[in-house]
Amino acid sequence: MSESAKNSMPIAVIGGSGAYHLLADQVLGKEKQCLSLDTPYGASAPIHHFISDDLEFLFLSRHGETDYSLTAPFVNYRANIHALKECGVQRIIAWSGPGIVNTAFKPGDFVVPHDIIDETRNRATTFFDNTGIGFIRQSQPFCPQIAHTLHDVLHESGFPHHEQAVYACTEGPRLETPAEIRKLRILGADLVGMTLAPEAFLAREREICYTPFCYLTNYAEGVKPREFKKGELFEGMQTEEEKKKVDASIQKFPALIRAVFESLKEEERTCDCSEALRRYKNKGMI
């Protein structure tokens, strides 16, 4: 990736395992270049530069590109977000597949969460260690402008979707116990996953717009009675019918994301994400 490209790529997708091949194989264009950036926090995950007609974007996979080779607690979130900022990224769509706590939601549904509960314990959560910087308001932890565009695209698609949800982020890599899911329900969580924290908060510290775009994979532990099945993904927490619905939703992602990109490229940033650190800049601390 050239220096000019690194400074002119305003949008990126952060995805999970398998997302890279799905994007590469479908409608989002040809890959122009790939590299991993060295950062003060270590090496980033590989960053892929896609181009199609007049649309360009970056893609980064949290967990690896051929399988789930790196579990959520061990993702280098700081290196990844720092590297995307260095590449000129202003907006991030975070592709995620959480489980369901609230039974108003169904496997295969699309969701644009509006809030988050951070239940992680051991992750590096800020770029501002040992400083007086980082006291940042979180009334809208995800970018409302990207969310609005996602809502419009989902309305036009006609696919089952929800415009609001509270996402609880747990430490992992293990899944949650039934008692933990009951606790999260009491706290107001609708969904549970392992990837959006501290990713979302780090993006805000770098003044990048960040919004998750979720497809729902399974009911969380204890939400629905499910027998243990040896050797399967989720060990039986997902029925065959649910798996088909989820797989069908995943296949729709590239076209939906492209539609979001097409809308966003015509819009200037009007949200407050880019001003998160304004008072520190005004004081000359940054």
Domains along the chain? Answer: 3-282 (3.40.50.1580)
Residues 49-72, mean pLDDT to the nearest whole number: 84
Mean pLDDT of 170-184: 97
Query: In sequence order, which residues have a C-beta less than 8 Å from that of residue 174 and are 6 or more positions away?
Result: none
Rounded-to-integer distance, Cα 190 and Cα 210, Å: 20
The pLDDT score that the predictor gives to residue 107 is 97
Task: Please report the pLDDT score of residue 197 as a whole number.
Answer: 98
Q: Express each pLDDT in 89-132 by its tens digit.
A: 999 999 999 999 999 999 999 999 999 999 999 999 999 999 99
Please report the sign of the dihedral spanned by the C-alpha atoms of residue 49, residue 51, residue 57, residue 61. negative
pLDDT for 152 = 97
pLDDT digits (tens, 9 = 90+) for 121-166: 999 999 999 999 999 999 999 999 999 999 999 999 999 999 999 9
In degrees to the nearest 10, what's the CA dihedral of 77, 83, 89, 90? 50
CA angle (33, 203, 93) in 5-degree steps? 60
